[in-house]
Chains A and B, each alone.
Chain A
Amino acid sequence: DAKTTQPPSMDCAEGRAANLPCNHSTISGNEYVYWYRQIHSQGPQYIIHGLKNNETNEMASLIITEDRKSSTLILPHATLRDTAVYYCIVRVLGSGGSNYKLTFGKGTLLTVNP
């Protein structure tokens, strides 16, 4: 299973875009990139996922490089409530493997400052 590397922490000014990087250089062709976030003391929350195309939903955008070795989660207008730990996870969909033994690293603590 592909490992991911994220910076331990980042800061962002309120109202600006937050760009959170993730390196997954050993990703295989059938592995998806998933992003979750965990606001203090709460359970993690799914944000977005993608395979190779860029994706956007009401929460964020996901940009995956053409070689799929890295991705960036973009929060277009960060608010104080976006302060959280953001986890980048790579997994195969379907039965077994990394889709069952889902592992979360330490993620990136994003602090949005007023």
Chain B
Amino acid sequence: NAGVTQTPKFQVLKTGQSMTLQCAQDMNHEYMSWYRQDPGMGLRLIHYSVGAGITDQGEVPNGYNVSRSTTEDFPLRLLSAAPSQTSVYFCASKTLMSGELFFGEGSRLTVL
């Protein structure tokens, strides 16, 4: 039972480069979301989706794009990475009506 899988676990980028953080879940959850966590901070919501083709902004969406073409996958794109995007990123999923979120193990991104 894989749950929520994030790749890569670690990534180093140079300023201005682009990349995609991948997130996949095998629990048939309608809801998926991305968070970032900076040292000493709680988790801040970047984007979320309540189903294929439906996405919406969270608390800190600037600099990030998302799409949801399938129920299973919810990639997070950084089009032009900035040092301020150095963070640990967590993907999470749940059923629509539930409050119980299932988190991935995180992706640690460093932008130089």
Using a CB–CB distance below 8 Å, which chain A residues touch chain B?
32, 34, 36, 41-46, 49, 87, 91, 93-95, 99-107
Contact = CB atoms under 8 A, between A and B. Distances in A.
A104 B31 contact: no
Given A34-B99, A46-B101, A106-B40, A41 B45 contact: no
Contacts of A46: 100-102
Interface of B: 4, 31, 33, 35, 40-45, 48, 50, 56, 58-59, 88, 90, 92, 96-106
A72 to B, nearest CB: 19
B6 to A, nearest CB: 9
B43 to A, nearest CB: 4
Residue among B4, B43, B92 with max Cβ neighbours from chain A (10 Å): B43
Contacts of B97: 93-95, 99
Contact of A99 (B58, B99, B104): B99
A100 B103 contact: no
Contacts of B44: 103
B98 A44 contact: no
